[in-house]
Amino acid sequence: MSSIVKIEQFSVCKAYSQRVVILTNTLFNEVDSILVAPVKIRKDQLLISGLQIPVIIEEQSYYVDLLDIATISKNQFKPISDIGLQLYRDKIKAGIDLLIDGF
């Protein structure tokens, strides 16, 4: 029997051995597919303003890559305890709006 992962918007989870941030609003928990964006390690590369959001997780530099969003099944998520990107919520939402509304 598998444990059910509580899906919360802006939580960081592992899926397919990669860190992802949950983008789907928690009001839609009944759906099986969840919109996510990868959380990638930031090296010295330049980021695309508004679409690659710099974040700090456990004192390391990462970025949320909104250029690589995808939907994946809820049962692929493995929780990463107490890691969330709620502090970056407004920047992530603004980036999603930029993708949807255009440049």
pLDDT digits (tens, 9 = 90+) for 44-103: 889 999 999 999 998 999 999 999 999 998 888 887 877 789 899 999 999 999 998 875
If DSSP codes are grouped into helix, strand and coil, which group holds residue 95? helix
What pLDDT was estimated at residue 84? 82
What pLDDT was estimated at residue 32? 79
**Sign of the alpha-carbon torsion through 83, 87, 91, 94:** positive
Q: What are the two backbone dihedrals, phi and then psi, of residue 101, each rounded to the nearest 5 degrees?
A: -85, -15
How is domain 11-101 classified at the architecture level of CATH? Answer: Roll (2.30)
pTM of this prediction exceeds 0.75:
yes
Domain boundaries, the chain: 11-101
**Rounded mean pLDDT of 33-48?**
92
Residue with tokens 């959380």: 39
What pLDDT was estimated at residue 48? 93
